[in-house]
A and B are shown apart, each in its own frame.
Chain A
Amino acid sequence: MKTLWPLLVASLALTVLPAAAAAAPAGLGLGAHGGYGQSADAEEGSPTVGAHLVLNVASWLGVVGSVDFKFKEDLVESGIDYDVESYPITLMGRVYLPLESFSPYVAGGFEYRIIKYGGDLFEDFEVDDSEEAFGWVAGAGAAFNPSESFEIFGEILYEAIDAERDLGNAIEDAEDFEYDQWSVRAGITFYLN
């Protein structure tokens, strides 16, 4: 069920927002996206969902701000299971190279991530179960415009997270966890003008 949420948000955006009169997506857009990624040390990946704002300041340059929720991943170290979920907040630039049919782009920027830990260890002992981390994100994608106000986009991103992992001596094992990951995202954007 959890993978449905991004599309619910996207669906609402698509359905509820009024149609705009702009001839082509430009200016300010908002939308929703979903994706999937696996942290380097996770047992398996998890979906990510989020909302984004796009500001295309020129035909070749856009700025994207997004807030995501990355669903729980399981990490195991020394026989101890850790649950990790996080909230990536990203600010990226997009440099478009418009072609006849669509607009490929490269993207790069910064990420601030709130990481929350769970698992038996955190329930049994009173230790700090969250941290904040900065990192960078870079990748490439493409935007397609099936109508004058809407954009479909897909992108592949690499996220590098410099987590401090200062969680106390009780969970030293967690200090070795890596959250760097490839992720793939897709979504829709509605342009307001």
Chain B
Amino acid sequence: MLSGRRHLWICGLVLIASAALVAGCGKKDSGEKVAEGMLEEALEQSGGEADVDIEGSDLTMESGDVSLKSTATAEWPGDLPASVPRFAYGVPVRVTRTEQGTEGTTYGIALKEIQTGALDKYSADLKAAGWEVLTTMTSGEGGTIMAKKDALALTFAYNEEEDFGNLAVMPNAD
């Protein structure tokens, strides 16, 4: 069961966060600093060194052997494995990378302005690039693709009504 110390830890964390919330209201720059401190404190209390950096719409967090970096960008991630075909039927709005140790990078690419027929076109692009498309599903409001190639797995999903899609690329654990 949980020890009393851990109960105190969690209560303290909530109090720190609440204080930070109040202190940070209304000031974007100071809010970012407060948020950085709050997140770092939370991660360090959890068990080790942590580094959090917030710059406008971008966030970087590192702790232990894991890291997360999320960037607001309209650019296709240049470090994505070359075997992943560029999605040319929408515009990236955010790229999020997560890593743990040497297990490889997982990419999440949030997309907007997705064109009609994007599902079929990107599925064709994947097949042309040698990907095995495992499933392609469509519904009235969107669709999904699941595919794999060598040590990579990929999913694409979008909702037309929301004009939002997400392309995720990750190491395949097979």
Size class of the B contact interface (CB-based, 8 Å): 35 or more
Docked complex Cα distance between A108 and B31 (Å)? 21
Docked complex Cα distance between A37 and B168 (Å)? 18
Check: A146 CB closer than 8 A to any chain B CB: yes
Contacts of B43 in A (CB 8 A): 139-140, 156, 158
Residue-wise, chain A 12-23 has the 8 Å CB interface mask toward B (1 for contact) of: 101110110000
Are B159 and A19 in contact, CB atoms less than 8 angstroms apart? yes
Docked complex Cα distance between A155 and B52 (Å)? 12
Docked complex Cα distance between A8 and B39 (Å)? 30
Are B144 and A11 in contact, CB atoms less than 8 angstroms apart? yes
Docked complex Cα distance between A33 and B37 (Å)? 26
Could you tell me the distance in whole angstroms from the C-beta of A166 to the nearest C-beta in chain B?
Answer: 14
Partner of B170, one of A3, A37, A93: A3
Residue-wise, chain B 127-169 has the 8 Å CB interface mask toward A (1 for contact) of: 0000000110101011110101000010111110111111010
Docked complex Cα distance between A147 and B162 (Å)? 7
Contacts of A144 in B (CB 8 A): 70, 94, 96, 110
Check: A179 CB closer than 8 A to any chain B CB: no
A-B contact count (CB 8 A): 232
Known: A60-B21, A106-B39. A183 touches B173 (CB 8 A): no
Q: Within residues 61 to 105 of chain B, which ones have a CB less than 8 A from any CB in chain A?
A: 61, 63-68, 70, 72, 93-94, 96, 98-101, 103
Contacts of A122 in B (CB 8 A): none
Check: B124 CB closer than 8 A to any chain A CB: no
Please give 14 more A-B residue pairs, beta carbons under 8 A apart, in addition to A150-B159, A158-B63, A182-B48: A4-B155, A7-B168, A8-B144, A15-B143, A34-B106, A36-B66, A60-B21, A95-B17, A96-B21, A101-B72, A106-B41, A140-B61, A144-B96, A160-B6
A binding-site residues for B, Cβ under 8 Å: 1-4, 7-8, 10-12, 14-16, 18-19, 34-38, 44-47, 60, 71, 93, 95-97, 99-102, 104, 106-110, 134-136, 138-142, 144, 146-150, 152, 154-158, 160, 162, 180, 182-184, 186, 188
B binding-site residues for A, Cβ under 8 Å: 1-2, 6, 9-10, 13-14, 17-18, 20-21, 24, 28, 31-32, 34-35, 38-43, 45-48, 50, 52, 54, 56-57, 59, 61, 63-68, 70, 72, 93-94, 96, 98-101, 103, 106, 108, 110, 112, 134-135, 137, 139, 141-144, 146, 148, 153, 155-159, 161-166, 168, 170-174
